[in-house]
Amino acid sequence: MDKTSVIDHNNLSYLQSLNREQLDAVQSINGPVLVLAGAGTGKTKVLVSRICHILKNNYAKPWEILAVTFTNKASKEMNSRVSSLIGQAVEGMWLGTFHSIGVKILRSNAELIGLKNNFTIIDTDDQTRVLKQLIKSNNIDDKRWPARSLAYIINKWKDMGVLPEEVRSEDTTNFAQGKSVELYKDYNSLLKVQNAADFGDLILHCITLFKNNDDILKNYQKKFKFILVDEYQDTNQAQHKWLKFLAMGSKNVCCVGDDDQSIYGWRGAEVGNILSFEKDFSGAKIIRLEKNYRSQPHILKAASELIKNNMGRLGKTLWTEKENGEPIIISSHLDGADEARSVIENCEIISKNNKLNEIAILVRAGYQTREFEDRLLTVNLPYRVIGGPRFYERREIRDAIAYLRVVSQPNDGIAFERIINVPKRGLGQTTIKSIYDMSKKNNDSLISSAQNIILTDIIRPQAKSSLSKLLENFNRWISLRDQTNVRDLLETILDESGYTDMWQNDKSIEAPGRLDNLMELADTLENFENLTAFLDHVSLVMENEKNETGDMINIMTLHAAKGLEFDHVFLPGWEEGLFPNQRSLDEYGTVALEEERRLGHVGITRARKTVRISFAHSRRSFGEWQNSLPSRFIDELPEENISFLEESHNIDNNFFQDNDFNQDINFDFDQSYKKTKSIPHKIRNIIVGSKIKHEKYGIGYVIKINYEKLEIVFENHGKKTIISDYVEVMND
């Protein structure tokens, strides 16, 4: 029986709720189509309706449709909605993520790319383990050239869709003195020997399959009469190549996306894919969805005006039939704590007549959540952190706190066990078990047992040496406990234990954020009289209710907020250096600035009813107060759609009068400005190449400056990151 035979082909009710542009996107099924779907314009509705239209008109059978999403959740939702509109379950449609579709293709053709059809898909941990073996077998110093760094490089190449022999000279790296391409080739060979593939391979192997097997490619091109792709702005180069191969058959490809919401460049997404759609697919039709069903006019006009400052976009203007509502409120604050108090006070006011679920605080960087979390706990408002753990539950924060707990209470065996081999010291499970056995035998603490075990021959000499050094460090840190402030104590521990170096040498995407979190923790310690007071605070925080299923305020990064919507949105930290992010600007320049601006656009358009943007005039950074300038993005918002809060905190009410505000922030943001303004006065006499002296590490040379942090190569200690206060400039 034909699986589509019971479909009611005469029922076209799904078309009746579509606006003119949506209807055009649904009915334009022949040839390449790009649907530019702005925030809140109903893109999912269009995709679902388009599939229904194809099926109800019998243009294709379900198994002749390929629909690609970015998440399994999106795939399930789309399948459910299609089935609901069709009136029955849709069987046989190729609906899934890029990776799941890639697996399906490869399972049927594995032998053609040197694998068996039962090949294993390895995860990130497995990949790192394989690369560690490879680095070791090539006699490469894994401390200088860690496996995670190599994984980052290889994954980047695979996201670009290039094999080892296709890596361009300009894309090579100096990893292991230029051996990265050779290692990439060896890694691929190792995987094939083990009948395994990583996630990047699931797309790259398909590309290789299509390139080398024209008959296979033509079969898939013939099979898929219609191709649909969601979130096209988030595709990487490999996914783009994969799609082009498949779409060149019927050419009936429909990509839905928003160039103004391309915010994942840091993980390989290429906004150029959507910008070059007309070039890549000849005769393409572009349909713009601009009618917004989510936000009020002030919000949309402000977001549209902000994003107009980007050069790399196809262009569209969001509009709505909703009433104006409230303008976007801009408020200034003395410092970060003042800003957090104000935001949470407003949350309390809103919560009197609204559900907490409809309130969201969206930050640029993960470490910013700490101040808001602490304030919410103080006023007893429940909250959830979306897209990641709460601040004090993050791995690096737990590790740092574990070190402090042992210093505070040496008998704390749970904390000691957590960090005994973090960073790696060659103290494995065998050593830890031996310490546990002695502890149980003598009814003694783990740290005392560790001190006793180094006097024996129970553990290996290497382990004994590492353990002895760790215990010596703890004895010294304990002696410093009552002689120094908590912040300095933590920084000493993280430095001397090698913990900071561990994350500085880690080249994963997450590493910079973890370092930022550690710095935020250090800054937090300034608020506590002693170590005990801080640890008591943490205990109370961790004891807080962890059930995140009820009515709660939402806290998340701007990246995590994409695809979500709330009635009331707070956007704190709109300051130069923080947003747009200085690290991104320094690394990627104009490209990063445009992506940062898209982040701002995403943040504003998450709101249905109200948006509050705030900035602080100073923030604590690296233990010192840094003056801040309002984000350039505030100056780009249209005056008629914003309102400066008259009752500013601790600031002259005339600050925003007579265009003073605009004059203050409408400056030239070229590189020379950033280099002079973003670096504190005290280190402006230090430049890249400066010869310096450090009390502990000796003589070194500055290779990079990042605010007060100096990246220095020392003659006898290698590369370190040091705060400028702790170095002396040599004038010879």
The SS3 assignment for 202 reads helix
Q: Find the catalytic residue in 21, 231, 259, 280.
A: 231
pLDDT score of 464: 86
- pLDDT-derived band at 54, boundaries 50, 70, 90: very high
Q: pLDDT digit string (tens) for 336-356? A: 999 999 999 999 999 999 999
DSSP secondary structure of 94-110:
EEEEHHHHHHHHHHHHG
Q: Which residue has the higher pLDDT, 82 or 558?
A: 558
Judge whether residue 613 has pLDDT over 50.
yes
- Torsion, Cα 200 202 205 206, to 10 degrees, reads -130
Q: Find the catalytic residue in 159, 198, 201, 230.
A: 230
pLDDT score of 722: 74
pLDDT score of 441: 83
Q: pLDDT digit string (tens) for 255-269? A: 999 999 999 888 888
Judge whether residue 650 has pLDDT over 80.
no
221 is catalytic: no
Residues with Cβ within 8 Å of 237's Cβ and at least 6 positions away in sequence, in order, are: 159, 160, 161, 268, 270, 273
pLDDT score of 680: 36
Q: Find the catalytic residue in 425, 598, 606, 609.
A: 606
pLDDT score of 371: 93
Q: What are phi and psi of 400, to 5 degrees?
A: -60, -40
CA 203 distance to own-chain centroid: 22
Rounded to an integer, the average pLDDT of 179-191 is 93
Q: Find the catalytic residue in 4, 22, 43, 632.
A: 43
Judge whether residue 686 has pLDDT over 90.
no
Judge whether residue 684 has pLDDT over 50.
no
Strands of the sheet containing 691-694, edge to edge, are: 718-723, 709-714, 698-706, 691-694, 727-729
CA 71 distance to own-chain centroid: 16
pLDDT score of 682: 36
624 is catalytic: no
Judge whether residue 383 has pLDDT over 80.
yes
- pLDDT-derived band at 181, boundaries 50, 70, 90: very high
Q: Which residue has the higher pLDDT, 501 or 723?
A: 501
Six-digit token string for 423: 């960073």
- What are 712's strand-pairing partners? 702, 720
Judge whether residue 553 has pLDDT over 80.
yes
Whether the pTM exceeds 0.85: the reply is no
Q: C-alpha distances in angstroms, 67 versus 90, 229, 697?
A: 13, 6, 57
230 is catalytic: yes
502/433 Cα distance (integer angstroms)? 25
Judge whether residue 468 has pLDDT over 60.
yes
- pLDDT-derived band at 526, boundaries 50, 70, 90: confident
Q: Which residue has the higher pLDDT, 188 or 724?
A: 188
316 is catalytic: no
231 is catalytic: yes
Among 98-102, 503-507, 607-611, the range scoring the smallest mean pLDDT is 503-507
Six-digit token string for 635: 């100056």
Six-digit token string for 4: 């589509």
Tell me what the pLDDT averaged over the chain comes to. Answer: 86
Judge whether residue 678 has pLDDT over 50.
no
Six-digit token string for 195: 């009948």
208 is catalytic: no
Judge whether residue 200 has pLDDT over 70.
yes
- pLDDT-derived band at 3, boundaries 50, 70, 90: very low
pLDDT score of 527: 81
- pLDDT-derived band at 623, boundaries 50, 70, 90: low
Q: Find the catalytic residue in 127, 233, 261, 610.
A: 261
- pLDDT-derived band at 236, boundaries 50, 70, 90: very high
pLDDT score of 345: 95
Please give the share of the chain, as a percent, with pLDDT higher than 70.
Answer: 90
- pLDDT-derived band at 492, boundaries 50, 70, 90: very high
* Cβ density class 306-325: b for 16+ within 10 Å, e for less: bbbebeebeebebebebeeb
- pLDDT-derived band at 454, boundaries 50, 70, 90: confident
257/263 Cα distance (integer angstroms)? 12
- pLDDT-derived band at 319, boundaries 50, 70, 90: very high
512/533 Cα distance (integer angstroms)? 28
pLDDT score of 683: 43
Helices (H), 310-426: 336-351, 369-378, 395-408, 413-419
